[in-house]
Structure 1
Amino acid sequence: MAEPDLNQQIAARVRQLRADRGITLEALADRSGVSRSMISLIERGETSPTAVLLEKLAAALDITLASLFEPPAGTASPVARRSDQTAWRDPASGYVRRNISPPFYPTPIQIVEVTFPAGARVAYDAAPRQTPAHHQVWVLDGRIEVTVGEQAHELATGDCLAFILDRPTAYRNRTREPARYAVVMAAGTDLPR
């Protein structure tokens, strides 16, 4: 379960992004497919939302999922110390994600480290984004299966998969050991498709 202060940080970030874009709760609910009441609970920090639910909000706000874990405001630094990096546990799958990239630093690239439990699975719908989200998944330890659209990719330590987040995507660990991987994301319309 996410720590209460992290739920509050996510709440503040969602509220800020929605306000910055001038989007009402109703409009965000329509865009994301997440109920108005659930968004309200998230914005008040009264629930531990799942990664799948947060991805729907991120797509509707035209940002990456990693962006929801950044603090709502702060000073940019080119260095992100491990001790300052946010770690979050998805209450549905149990996976732990850590934002590696320095928050607020002006770059189109974000890096996330994921520790994926044995037997875990998480599946994301493909929500339309105005800005393409390019992903590369690099397996650091273990084995995972990543399905992009209809195509499944078996990845082992050292393997890297590149794709655009424009189709349903699922991650699965079919082994009895946890896996660890990095997701490198870049957003921008000037990147090749």
Structure 2
Amino acid sequence: MMKYTAVLEKPVTSRKAPMPEPLLREALGAALRAFRADKGITLRELAEASRVSPGYLSELERGRKEVSSELLASVCHALGTTVSDVLIEAAGSMAVRSAEADLARVARV
């Protein structure tokens, strides 16, 4: 009985690197931006109402900065919404992104 061995130049990979899980700061930023857009107010108006600099709010909305609970409460109050509503929106978007990544992985298999 003869045995054959194949030599590959590159390893065979059946899966691509998994997509990173979405960050909470990014999801919170997107949720804050959506709530602000729904209210039809500018970043500058929200900054004045929440007593946060426009630059810092911009960083929050882009997911570049972590938000403290006190600052989040101040921004939510200025938006006329609750912290829990913003957190639920952020968690929902994270869940959707995670589910999309899972579906994409299953479709590749």
TM score, norm. by length of structure 1: 0.35
Alignment-derived partner of residue 62 in structure 1:
80
CA distance in 2, matches of 1:11, 1:55: 14
Do the aligned residues in 1 keep the contact of 2:26 with 2:63 (CA within 8 Å)? yes
Alignment-derived partner of residue 70 in structure 2:
52
Do the aligned residues in 1 keep the contact of 2:72 with 2:83 (CA within 8 Å)? yes
Provide structure 2 residue ranges, at least 5 long, that are not aligned to the other structure: 1-20, 96-109
Flag the structure with more relative contact order, 1 or 2, with Cα contacts below 8 A and sequence separation at least 6: 2
The alpha carbon displacement at 1:72 in A equals: 5.4
AA aligned to 1:69 is L
Alignment-derived partner of residue 8 in structure 1:
26
AA aligned to 2:42 is T
Structure having the higher helix fraction is 2
Runs of 4+ residues deviating >3 angstroms: none
Structure having the higher strand fraction is 1
Which protein is bigger by CA-based radius of gyration?
Answer: 2
AA aligned to 2:66 is S
CA distance in 1, matches of 2:74, 2:51: 7
2:61 alignment partner, one of 38, 43, 52: 43
**How big is each residue's C-alpha offset from its partner over 1:120-150, in whole Å with a ceiling of 9 and x where there is no partner?**
xxxxxxxxxxxxxxxxxxxxxxxxxxxxxxx
CA distance in 1, matches of 2:60, 2:41: 15
CA distance in 1, matches of 2:71, 2:90: 19
User: What is the identity percentage for the equivalent residue pairs of Structure 1 and Structure 2?
Assistant: 38
Do the aligned residues in 2 keep the contact of 1:32 with 1:59 (CA within 8 Å)? yes
CA distance in 1, matches of 2:62, 2:55: 11
TM score, norm. by length of structure 2: 0.61
Q: Aligned pair in 2 of structure 1 residues 72, 37: CA closer, same or farther (>3 Å)?
A: same
Q: Aligned pair in 2 of structure 1 residues 21, 42: CA closer, same or farther (>3 Å)?
A: same
CA distance in 1, matches of 2:59, 2:33: 11
AA aligned to 2:70 is V
The alpha carbon displacement at 1:73 in A equals: 9.4
The alpha carbon displacement at 1:29 in A equals: 0.6
